[in-house]
Amino acid sequence: MAMLEVNGIEVYYGMIQALKGVTFQVDKGEIIALIGANGAGKTTTLHTITGLLTPKKGTVTFEGKDITHTPAHKIVSMGIAHVPEGRRVFADLSVYQNLRMGAYTRKDKNEIEQTLEIIYERFPRLKERKNQRAGTLSGGEQQMLAMGRALMSRPRLIVMDEPSMGLSPIFVNEIFDIIAEISRAGTTVLLVEQNAKKALNIANRAYVLETGKIVLSGDAKDLLNDDAIKKAYLGE
């Protein structure tokens, strides 16, 4: 049984159908990349997994439990954290407050402090800026904060929506290094990216989404060498 099973989900915005039966799965320990052009339905897929949207048809199963209709605010405590598109840090709150917000559903104060130390170790910049307003951080720092905030819930699965978007090349590399590290530390990763090359390089397997449908899937290494992929997504 896969950790996450997305089964034939169809999602609408009013009359517009954004997903036309998307099916894929994520196994424990994997990094899965979900790639696709603008408007393909990547964000919609992630929002459906974490309960911000509900599909008209199809199901989402996590660790054997049907979470299709589980409201978003109950998803975190089940073990899934979501790093949203555009980072969505709480701009008026400090870095520290943002991180604490990530542990909102956790109770044990000592354990939260321990996780905080681990996050600060992984993101030294966040520690240096812990009392700074999140809105004043640079884009790359905000991305780190969004990731750190998600990790504060100690998720078993982390879904990330275009973490490298709008970042300078140095930050992009740093972010991908961090993703690899998160995976090594034992968290399963579902990664949505437009930077297909980087995503395929780091992922075990990948799915390609086009206008609401999965059109291609396979081992990431194979997809890197696929002619159609090269042409459409790798700009070669």
The binder of 36, among ligand ATP, another protein, Mg ion, none, by C-beta within 5 to 8 A per type, is: ligand ATP
Contact call for residue 13 and ligand ATP (CB under 6 A)? yes
Which of these ranges, 58-66, 86-94, 200-208, 224-232, lies near another protein under the rule CB under 8 A?
Answer: 86-94
**Cβ proximity of 59 and 9 under 8 Å:** yes
Contact call for residue 43 and Mg ion (CB under 5 A)? yes
Q: What gap in Å lies between CA 178 and CA 91, rounded to an integer? A: 23
Site string for another protein, 165-204 (x = CB under 8 A): ----------------------------------------
Q: What gap in Å lies between CA 203 and CA 150, rounded to an integer? A: 20
Binder of ligand ATP out of 8, 39, 71, 218 (CB under 6 A):
39
Is 87 or 205 the residue whose CB approaches another protein more closely?
87
Q: What gap in Å lies between CA 208 and CA 91, rounded to an integer? A: 33
Binder of ligand ATP out of 40, 144, 147, 190 (CB under 6 A):
40
How many chain residues are in contact with another protein, going by CB under 8 A? 30
Sign of the Cα pseudo-torsion (132, 135, 141, 147, in order): positive
Encoded tokens for 138: 């640079």
**Cβ proximity of 99 and 119 under 8 Å:** yes
Q: What gap in Å lies between CA 35 and CA 214, rounded to an integer? A: 10
Which of these ranges, 30-38, 65-73, 114-122, 211-219, lies near another protein under the rule CB under 8 A?
Answer: 65-73
Which of these ranges, 85-93, 109-117, 124-132, 174-182, lies near Mg ion under the rule CB under 5 A?
Answer: 85-93
**Cβ proximity of 65 and 1 under 8 Å:** no
Q: What gap in Å lies between CA 155 and CA 132, rounded to an integer? A: 26
Binder of ligand ATP out of 54, 61, 132, 194 (CB under 6 A):
194
Residues interacting with ligand ATP, by CB under 6 A?
Answer: 13, 16, 18, 36, 38-44, 85, 194
